[in-house]
Structure 1
């Protein structure tokens, strides 16, 4: 029976109930070490630039630092992005292996499929966000305003957005739609449980108001559905990267303000997210069918029989080889097998009757020479 993405860690011969929970502890430890290194490097950089006060303000701030400071924005995104190597290292250290099954049911990240869904995500979300921004109006009554003049700060911020945001979004997908969904999938066969739990935890990781949290929840459910329907993280990564890059880039050039958007969010503002999610899921489903994307993992072959030792080991196939179609040698009736019997001693040669005596031989009393 084929295996869903979220059940891959459970339906494998190497599964053990302790592995994924321990991987979570290793993930936390690896993240703390990695984030400490990032903070130390950042502190050295800010000290060299004479900006320790800005770093202290970042530490004491309870709000998300705006995009007006590219250095602090890069620090924010890097601290999230460090979760990507942390989760990969955690699963690699504890199992189940290979770690590529955290990416997709093929055991690897499907780069061609990632590129196709990435292009589609930028088109769909670009049209949706653009239409919504224009519909809300410009000036004081809407979120859209005239872009700022191009300067060095804007270009640096755009470079940070393009460089760091894909890593940040990918890290969140590997943690929430990858590790967490496979962890929950190892405890239950009901895929909806993994979708709900991972989505709730994803929402709690974002500090927005009520309708902003609902918007994040819709996105989380959409990403989880994409993972289950395509058998991998690629489509969810594409949607996440496109969403964050577009919003950050529009804010960097001064067209939108995400702080105003999340602060004044209402039920009507959920419409672009709902529409873009439904459209993207439908188009991804169509693309996956046309491209023949593998959605589940085929049943794994049974493990080979244990290799015996001793007398029978020499005739047994080496590990990793396939049977040639011939039946293996029959198993012994006792174990360990009895050693082969020693050959009988050679019989002494018989002397034909009437044979002449050899020179120097004397016949004994029995007449045998």
Structure 2
């Protein structure tokens, strides 16, 4: 992963020059308020996928598909189904926040950037799910055989790998717990990847339209409201998974194992 990220850094430096690189490598999530910064940030995470794939070929202890699920690999249909509810809910939530608190960003929308975000954001979120809920959580689960402990430990690692202030880290930790819980209950990372994608893409849309801005120092009220909303959304998704036939693939595979 570090090798891929170094190559990415060199390529961006060669294309955009030193001044652009100062913006990209300046640190903090404020970099996501620029098109170039978000594209670079997404790509630097996306390289986790080929890095993990190459690692599985070197170590040869298990197939790459096993990091996606215990149901025979990635289920794209399940991922698309799971996108609907969280994306709609998050767009409403983000819109309500703007209506109450007003805008605080800079408009930088473009068709090309929208297309890039439609491609890069899902890959970026899925890459994180492969590493944190796939590789790391499964590894802890195989060591301790206690699902709750594996979920908590990966949540801690997930949070500290983000560059937020203390309040922001708490919010990311709760998100990590939610993603880990859904991964455990669905025997795969498709649902957590969908929720992760819905969250990041909705935020990206509001940032590019100048309705909000990204910050490394979220405030107390914003964090509390976001955590409560995420828990409610998780409960809704869990109810849908368990009570409807949207996710019949999970029920069928679970019965067969």
Q: Give the TM-score, by structure 2 length.
A: 0.87
SS at match of 1:263: coil
2:236 & 2:116 partners in 1: Cα distance?
A: 32
2:52 equivalent to 1:87: yes
User: What is the SS of the residue equivalent to 1:186?
Assistant: helix
The structure 2 residue matched to 1:63, chosen from 10, 28, 35, is 28
Alignment partner for residue 187 of structure 1, among 139, 143, 151?
143
Question: What secondary structure does 2:181 align onto?
Answer: helix
Partner in structure 1 of residue 98 of structure 2:
133
CA-CA distance at 1:233 after TM superposition: 0.2
Provide the C-alpha distance between the structure 2 equivalents of 1:57 and 1:128, rounded to a whole number of angstroms.
Answer: 30
DSSP-derived class of the 1:88 partner? helix
Shift of 1:130: 2.4
Aligned to 2:225: 271
8 Å Cα contact 1:105/1:297 also seen in 2: no
Cα separation, partners in 2 of 1:92 and 1:285, compared to 1, 3 Å = farther
Q: Structure 2 vs 1, CA of residues 98 and 298 (structure 1 numbering), >3 Å: closer, same or farther?
A: farther
Are 1:45 and 2:1 counterparts? no
If asked which structure has higher relative contact order (CA below 8 Å, sep 6+), I would say 2
Shift of 1:286: 2.4
Q: Matched residues in 2 for 1:90 and 1:104: separation?
A: 18
Structure with the higher fraction of residues in helix conformation: 2
Residues 1-369 of structure 1 correspond to what in structure 2 (within 5 A)?
31-46=1-16, 51-59=17-25, 61-135=26-100, 137-138=101-102, 144=103, 148=107, 154-259=110-215, 262-267=216-221, 269-291=223-245, 292-294=248-250, 296=254
Deviation at 1:100, TM superposition (A): 1.4
Whole-Å Cα distance in 2 between the matches of residues 112 and 65 of structure 1? 34
Contact 1:202 1:220 in 2 (8 A): yes
Shift in Å at residue 146 of structure 1?
8.7
Task: Write the distance in 2 (CA, Å) between the matches of 1:293 and 1:278.
Answer: 24
Q: Which moved more, 1:171-180 or 1:287-296?
A: 287-296
- Supply the RMSD in Å over aligned alpha carbons: 2.4
Cα deviation, 1:192-238, whole Å, max 9, x if unaligned, reads 11111100011101111222111111111100010011111011001
Q: Give the TM-score taking structure 1 as reference length.
A: 0.62
Q: Mark the CA change 1:156 to 1:66 in structure 2 (over 3 Å): closer, same or farther.
A: farther
Q: How many residues align?
A: 253
Note the residue ranges of structure 1 that are not aligned, 5 or more in a row: 1-30, 139-143, 300-369
